[in-house]
Structure formats: C-alpha cells, structure tokens
Amino acid sequence: MNGLAITAPPLDAADSLERSTIRRITWRFIPLLALGYIFSMIDRVNVGFAAITANRDLHLSPSVYGLGAGIAFVGYILFGFPSNQILARVGARFWLSCIMITWGLISACTAFVVGPISFFIVRFLLGVAEAGYFPGILLFMALWLPRRYRARYLALLLIGMPLSALIGAPMSALLLGREGVLGLHGWQWLYIVEAMPAVLLGISVRFLLTDRPAEAHWLTAAQKDWLTKELAAEPVAAQSHAATFLGTLFDRRVLFYSLVFFNVTAASFGLVFWLPQIVHASGLSPIESNYVTAIPYIFGIIGMIGWARFSDWTGDRVWPVAMASALAGLGLTLSVIVHTPLMQLFAICAATTGIYALKGPNMALITENFTGRTAPGAIAMISALGGLSGFVLPAIVGWIRESSGGFTGGLLFLALLSFLGAAQVLLTPWFEARENRFRFSG
C-alpha cells in the first residue's frame, strides 16, 4: 500500500493539472479574442444604429439599405475559405492581426461614403477584410481546447455578438449626439470612433497569441504534455472529400451543416440590422431607440453563457441547438401577435435569448464534426455559406418592409427559418450515421 501511495499520484492531482491548464489557456486567449469579436460585430452591425439618421443623409431607401447592410457577407463568403487556408499555413498570430487592422481601417472609411454605390463598395470590402476572423478563431480554439470545454468557451468568445449590441447601442447613441462636431455628422463619428479598437487589438494580437500548444512557453512541461495527449486522444470525425475550394463547396457534409448554420442564425442576422428601427417605429427618438435596443441583448448574454455550460455538462449539442432555435422562432412569432410595447419587448427578449443561446453549442457541433487536414477549409466554408443569411436576410426583411409598410411579415419569415433550423438540427445524428455508412462501405 505504501508503494502505491508513493508511485501513484492522488486522483485529484490529474484534475488539478487539467484545471490549471485550461485556466491558463482561457485567461491567455479568451479575453483578447472576445474583445476582437465584440468589435468585429460592432463594426459589422453599427450600420443598423447609424441607419436611423445616415439613411436620410445618404438617401438610402429601406431596400437599398438592406442590400448594403448584407453585401458585406458577399465578401465574407468569397474570401472566408482562402483566408482560413492562409491562417493554417502562416499561423493565427500573424493572420488574425492582419485581419483586425484591415477591417478596422475599412470600417472607419464608412464615415465617408456619399451614396448607395460607395456604401455598397465599403460594405463589400469590410466583408472581405473580416472574412477570416470568425472561422479563424473557430479553428484556433479547436487546436487548444478539448471537446468537453468547447461550447462554454466558444460561447464566451461569441458573447461578442450580444455584447456588441449591448455596448454598441449606448455608445452609438452618444456618438450620434455629436452632430456637427468638426463639421461631421454624428453617424460619421460613430463609424470612426468604433473602428479604432479593432486596429489597436490587431496590434496586440500579433504579440500575445501563440499558434500551437507546442510553442506555449507560458505552459509548464506537464501542462503541455497533458494538453497534447488530451487532444490527440479525441475521436477523429469523418473527413470531407477534398481540400480544394470546389471539392469543399460541394461536399455533402459541408452543405448539410451550412444549411443548419443558415437557418439557426437567420433570426440573428435578420434582426440585428433592423431592431433599432423596429424599436424606433414605436415612437421613441433615435437616441432613446438605441438605448432600448440594448435590453434584449442582456437576456441574450445570460442565455448564451448558461446554455453553453448546459450543453457541455450534458455532452449533447443537437438538442440544445434545436430547443434554442425553437425558442427564437416562438419569440419572434409572439412579437407580432401581441400589441402592447411592453409585451412586444418581452417577446423580442425571449427571441434574443434563443438566438444567442444556440451559438456556443452550434459552433461546438461544427468543430467537433470536422477534424484533420480538411478542417480549416470545411469550417471556413460552413461559416461562409451559413453566413449567406447575413446577406440575404437583411435584404429580404427590407424588401418585405418596403412592400408591406411594416415589420410583421419579415419577423414571421425569420421565425419560420428558426423553426426549420430546429427541425433540421435534430436530423444531425441520422445524417452522420448515413455518411459513416457510405464512408466505410465505399
């Protein structure tokens, strides 16, 4: 017994090593990448806050604004795949830094657009510049975190989505109030000031990120050894059939998960660009509208963190994504059925909770089902194709609003896509079993 006591470490020693390793990784990377994601989303969606006054100054109709708001995703789609391939070759530290500095400078240029054409061009270039950031951090975190931790920490990264609105709404309200300072409109100050943090964070990333665990001088030898073995022992998912652009584009698994991504994120992108104007339509001033718009995102943050921890605790990704997507659809449906402003706000808060609660489990579902040499391209392609919702949905909601004079039809359409996404994600186990049968029989 004494020999065993000397040679075998106590059971909690391994747990302590695991906890210390994960804690050191998360404190090293999560705050920095989360801040980057917050400002990537602010620079992507601040067009919604600026629209209340900028659309009037630039003579943008609802349909033109909706197209311009979403056209960034065309650049995002076209350049997401090559950007992630470059990241896999040159490393996240260098490439994510380049991405952040470039998108910050381009976002600031939105302050100087003069009409629809220049608005479209700058929004497209913003999508090109930002294309690799989100799939890049997905790939980066898959290299550093074991699966059982992934949903909760991806959720902490993706908390930038609701936080971008929670922070961006009052910030935008304050900046819109700077009308006439140095001869600029308030919405121009909004674009300039909100772009600068991305540039500063991009410089910081160049010095603070580490590409792979083997290069982490800030981990002890025991921590690096534990992490390397833990990641190597994880099961390998079925591979995509090709690493080329076209091969990845037409891969059945990539297309399936892209459609899931599209449907379950449709409400997010459809709502975020229009929510300030939906609130403004209730009779509030532009500045009051931006403050009230922040309220639903508080619920989104709570749902995002709590539901991701629940998903990690159960080890399930499918049901958490499906239930959250269904809640989003239900909340959007109720928002057009009830008629008092307070009840409508409650319904939008419920929808926003579902919209953001599914983010962490959904991203974990994708990164866990794509591993190996084709993972960078597959993850980028799913992010790009699924991100088509960011291009299509703002334009569709704008067209429906212009045709009907209200937001009811657009919100119901978003609700329908959320319900479809919930149904489709429940088919994931059947789809993976089918693909594995083809894989081993072929």
Walk along the chain (442 residues) and give the pLDDT tens digit of each residue.
344 343 444 445 667 888 899 999 888 888 888 888 888 878 777 777 777 788 888 888 877 887 887 788 788 778 877 888 888 888 888 999 999 999 999 999 988 988 889 989 998 999 899 888 888 888 888 888 888 887 788 777 777 777 776 777 778 778 888 887 888 888 889 889 988 999 999 999 988 888 888 888 998 999 998 998 888 887 655 454 455 667 777 788 888 998 888 888 888 766 665 666 666 666 666 666 666 777 888 888 888 888 988 988 888 889 999 999 999 999 889 888 887 777 878 888 898 899 889 888 888 888 788 766 667 778 778 877 887 776 677 777 778 877 877 777 888 888 899 999 999 999 998 888 887 665 544 4
What pTM did the predictor assign?
Answer: 0.68
pLDDT score at 420: 93
pLDDT at 2: 42
The span from the first CA to the last CA of the chain, in angstroms, equals 53
- Which pLDDT score, from 0 to 100, does residue 441 have? 47
| pLDDT for 95 | 92
- Delineate the domains of the chain, giving CATH numbers in brackets: 24-210+237-441 (1.20.1250.20)
